[in-house]
Amino acid sequence: MPTTPSTWRLDAPATTLIFDLSRGVAELAYLGPGLPPEQNASVLCGALQRGAHESEPDERIPPSILPCIEAGYAGSPAVEIARAGHQLALRAESVGVEGDDAAVTFHLVDPALTLSVESRWSARHSGVIEVSQRVNFEGEDPVQLLRCASLVLPLPRWATHVTQFSGRWAAEMHATRSEISRSARLHGETQGGTPGFSGGQWLLFESADSTEHYGLSLAVHLAWSGDHTWTLRVDPDGRAVLSIGARIRPGEIVLSRHHPFVAPSAVIAVSSSGRAALRQTLHRHVLDERLPQAFSRAPRKVHLNTWEACGFALSLPKLKSLAEQAAELGIERFILDDGWFSGRRNDRSSLGDWNPSVDVFPEGLESLIRHVESLAMDFGLWIEPEMVSPDSALYRAHPDWCLAVEGLPRATQRHQLVLDLTRADVTDHLYNVIDQLLRRYSIAALKWDHNRELFPIPSGSIGQTQALYRLLDRLRETHPKVEIETCASGGGRVDYALLSRCTRFWASDNNDPIERLRINRSWLQFVPFRILGHHVGPSPNPITGRMLSMDFRAKTAMFGHMGVEADPSTMSEDDRQTLSAHIALYKEWRDVIHHGSVYELCSSDEGAAGWFVVQMNRGLALITQSLFAQHFEAEPIRLHGLEPYQRYCVRLLTPWPEHPARYLNSPQVWREGVRMTGAALAYSGISLPRRLPGTAWLIAVEAE
């Protein structure tokens, strides 16, 4: 029998983990910036150990990544099981370990219950640590799994602050940073079958002094598209432990011989130099290890989505005219949104009947698609396959296909019910319908929407979510060239598991650029511009009522996967020209925006926001002002991420914001470019007029 080592070390780029196994449990002794190879792991673990104090058991209980209550642990256990309504004691007799330089698996075994837990920690090339848990059961009588944390993480003591996210429809991802106080018990969960608008499964832990470019940072994400739960507990000695995983309802998961449970994976990333480096590690993980690789490098085409221009009032002549106007602006993809199928003239009917409306398209979609393609654009289509309208042919034929509780009314949301994806006949039907659409028509992209919570869902969301993954995987395998955008009334279902199957996410239904600056700031800590859908909307904005110039709307939409969700026929000629000019700029700079390193532009000026993206010897910055500035002399804009001794040409890209441009000193110089070193741009910066709300500038930086 091989002996268990006393320590185990795992290194990812710029990150080191050291596990102390000397006391019979898997104890995470060190998680932080990379340590030199010469550092002796046993010496480090010994230097961190202490003796028991008066109020502890004589044999001190070390913090474990697989804690058991039966061993005296006072927090949330990693695994809880029950049989016939009675919780069973989990008594682990040993913790085994196996692995190599890239990954390690810890085995917690309870021979009496014939149950084992495997915890696998993998160091990815991107620099993140990926953690997955598996529960195996070999007993004769099945048991219920009540809890299985994807990650139990004793936090480093430098992690004194936590950033959580909250939100609602059209106001996703509000970030709140707070100190982790003594005896804190923070908790978050969802019950609607998806992660929801709050982004609750994204967490950021930092040292007190952490900033964009300085300090220690730690990100944790649960890669899961269903309900989740997490707790952060600080014990009386000040030790904080995070536990996060899928929310398991009673009776939802039954363990039996040959039927293990594999928990959703969790992702950890660490930075020793602030949020910027942390962001770049996570972006690298998404682009290199999550996003379907067929779409990891291809240019992201400019979209036009028909919703704001047409709503449900579709006609073939109107759509063809809209396509012509889109092509004149330089748009590359035409997305036909809701209203194209069956009798869909409002949101009260026809979901599930995925056949082109004979009233709008008497010969199917071919005529529109041919017209779109003749204008050098490709075609995309909106669907919402997981839902069904009670007023639909599908529901009348198969009322038993919905999530429902016998004897209770079938409550709708947005006049919709939810199809039960755990039924093979349902997912087979959905696969066949979508497959036929993709085979019959030349469709380059699908906008896959999800517009209501999953209720009633008595069996829980795990089976529904896993069935969605299987459906998407089948479609990806059959149609690998089709792009899929994930949308759930905006940003209601965004996570790494779904992004491994989709190529784009819709960050919010709210296209107000000032709101999007805040929403996108939160998303961008974890996901790159390349997959963040951001469209130019109408003015006044249909959700906020705010009126903003086309210049401001277009400049902000460039920083993302750019699109247009407005009617060009209602725009002035000046606005069309301004929009067209920015679409051309996006095409020129999108490789930088989508593959460069992203830095947030930090300013003490209230209302200032922006980003600087650097790729090789080029960079593009967006600086915006959303409030009337307190001072006429705005704080200089400092651009980090450049080579300090390299000289750069710095230009202000046109078109310029009309009124603020009057205050430029030497406009011709800014058109031609000023010469500055990377060090000067980082520490001195440049001054631009941005006193007025609704001001935005684009700053191009190119090495000479």
Catalytic residues: 449, 509
Q: Tokens 């709503």 correspond to what residue? A: 311
431: number of CA atoms within 13 Å, CB side?
20
Q: Helix, strand, coil shares of the chain as percentages rounded to 5?
A: 25, 30, 45
Q: Report the 3 state secondary structure along 412-479.
A: CECCEEEECCCCHHHHHHHHHHHHHHHHHCCCCEEEECCCCCCCCCCCCCHHHHHHHHHHHHHHHHHC
DSSP three-state, residue 370: helix
The reply to whether omega before 657 is within 30° of 0 (cis) is no
Greatest Cα pair distance, the chain, in angstroms, is: 83
Rounded to whole angstroms, the Cα distance separating 422 from 412 reads: 20
Query: What's the distance, Cα to Cα, between the start and end of the chain in Å?
Result: 64
Rounded to whole angstroms, the Cα distance separating 5 from 677 reads: 51
Rounded to whole angstroms, the Cα distance separating 437 from 458 reads: 32
DSSP three-state, residue 134: strand
What tokens were used for 318? 């109107």
- CA nearest to 113, candidates 95, 89, 132: 89
Rounded to whole angstroms, the Cα distance separating 26 from 18 reads: 10
What tokens were used for 500? 């491994």
Main-chain phi, psi angles of 486, to 5 degrees: -90, 130
What tokens were used for 382? 């909106």
The reply to whether omega before 540 is within 30° of 0 (cis) is yes
Rounded to whole angstroms, the Cα distance separating 188 from 47 reads: 35
Rounded to whole angstroms, the Cα distance separating 527 from 516 reads: 15
Spell out a b/e string for 484-496, using b for 16 or more CB atoms within 10 Å of the CB, else e. bbbbbbbbbbbbb
Rounded to whole angstroms, the Cα distance separating 372 from 19 reads: 58
Q: Are 502 and 484 in contact (CB under 8 A)?
A: yes
Long-range (24+ apart) CB contacts under 8 A made by 180-183 are: 180/155, 180/205, 180/232, 180/234, 180/240, 181/234, 182/234, 182/236, 182/238, 183/234, 183/235, 183/236
What tokens were used for 400? 């038993």
Report the 10 Å Cβ neighbour count for 565. Answer: 23
DSSP three-state, residue 394: helix
Strands 608-615 and 674-677: unpaired
